[in-house]
Amino acid sequence: MVAGKRVVVIGGGIAGMGVAKALVEKAGGQVEVTVVTKDPFYMAGPSRPLILTGEQKYERIIRGYEEAAAKGIRVVYGLVDRIDPAERKVHYTEAPTKAGESVLEYDYLVVAPGVVFDGSEIEGYDKYWYKNATVYEPGRVDVLKKRLWSITEGTVVVYAPPMPYRCAPAPSETTLLAHTILAHRGVRGKVRVIHVDANDKPQPPVIADVIKNLYEQAGIELITSRKLVEIGPDYIVLDDGEKINYTILAALEPNRAPKFIAEAGLGDKWFEVRSPQDLRSPKYDDILAAGDAAKLPFPKNQEIAYESALYAANKILEDLGVGERIPVQYAFLGWAYVGNLAGKLETESVKFGLNFTTKPPKPSKDPEPKKDYTKAKDEWEQAYLRNLFGY
């Protein structure tokens, strides 16, 4: 049995904490697990769109790392600058002081930093980035909420970039919640709502027909297979030259992994893995990936992130000689918010799922919007937070 192996996990989200918790529980004293994460808190993602309507509160989805640390997980705060695979070192700048660079040495490294929202290839983004706000990050949600609750006329444009991106239904959730708020405020008739999607249909495909039907009922305009190429002070331009004026812009930027992954030779846009079940780097046996940064043939969502974390943990447990494995397979059940077409601040949701253990993957859905599904999504999210953060 190998003892005292140093495991460094980059990222304190669902994937990172999933790996850390699994190793501490299954390997015990054989590992020393350190999680390096940029903030001293974690904010859950799935229910952030409901902050727009006031149906979700920050205090219900923010967690600290204190209870996890009490269970034996060391947590340090900082921004990773670079990985040195040859020296088995992670270099990071301590946060929030940024007083200097620190170094973590590892026997195993798990890279689970999530995604970067990168608008650098969109013309005008560097100048007009502040015109845009989405549900994907703390703070930006507040900006979008303020704008939706103050607009009296004009145009709301929501944009989804080419897949893959984090949380496939979020752009359509944003669109339908925008309709709900505007209808609730009695100004929907004076505000156009447009969803521009770079994909050929709203995501995920399993509920695209449901979303399209709801859009038709709500009078929401849908433009597909068109990419956003330019942002101006009050307009966007699509790749066919069409110009659309906006009053509110909620454009999700293309997603990629942090650049320190490519700079370490671990992948280009995403971290390359050997297979969905073997999340080691093809170049290094001691470096693994988990979560959204990993190049996997699956959607980027919370369930897949957690399942990949368990596969990564199992590979390390196998290497350590620990006999017990964590049962895991790639399959998920999810819920997409569809707002409330009548303008009530009582969001309904539809249920869908994909089972990747079958070929082709087996989809499932209930196309009927239900308030009970919104409640189920909340309970599911809270269960994850209790499991990984201790409360």
- Answer yes or no: pTM beyond 0.85: yes
Q: Give the CATH H-level superfamily of domain 5-115+257-320.
A: FAD/NAD(P)-binding domain (3.50.50.60)
Single out the residue of 119, 122, 92 nearest to residue 104, CA to CA: 92
Are 113 and 10 a contacting pair, CB within 8 Å? yes
Kindly list the distances between the CA atom of residue 264 and the CA atoms of 261, 323, 325, in Å, as whole numbers in the listed order: 5, 32, 30
The C-alpha atoms of residue 281 and residue 110 are separated, in whole angstroms, by 10
Runs of H (alpha helix) within the chain: 14-27, 58-61, 66-70, 125-128, 140-148, 170-185, 208-218, 259-263, 302-320, 371-389
Nearest to 15 by CA among 317, 388, 282: 388
CA 172, distance to chain mean position in Å, is 15
As a whole number of angstroms, the distance between CA 205 and CA 58 comes to: 30
Let me know the angle formed at the C-alpha of 174 by 113 and 166, rounded to the nearest 5 degrees. Answer: 20
- Tokens 């799935």: give the residue: 46
What is the per-residue pLDDT for 2?
A: 44
pLDDT along the chain (391 residues), means of 10: 81 98 95 97 98 98 98 96 98 78 96 98 98 96 98 98 98 98 98 98 98 98 98 98 98 98 98 98 98 98 98 98 94 97 98 95 97 98 98 97
Q: Which CATH architecture has domain 118-254?
A: 3-Layer(bba) Sandwich (3.50)
Spatial separation of the C-alpha atoms in residues 72 and 303, rounded to whole Å: 24
- Can you give the residue ranges of every domain in the chain? 5-115+257-320, 118-254
Closest CA relative to residue 31, chosen from 39, 22, 40: 22
* pLDDT score for 108: 98
Ordered DSSP codes for 122-142: SBTHHHHGGGB--SSSTTHHH
Q: How far apart are CA 61 and CA 79, in angstroms?
A: 22
Residues paired with residue 193 on neighbouring β-strands, in sequence order? 156
pLDDT of residue 94: 87
Strand partners, 293: none
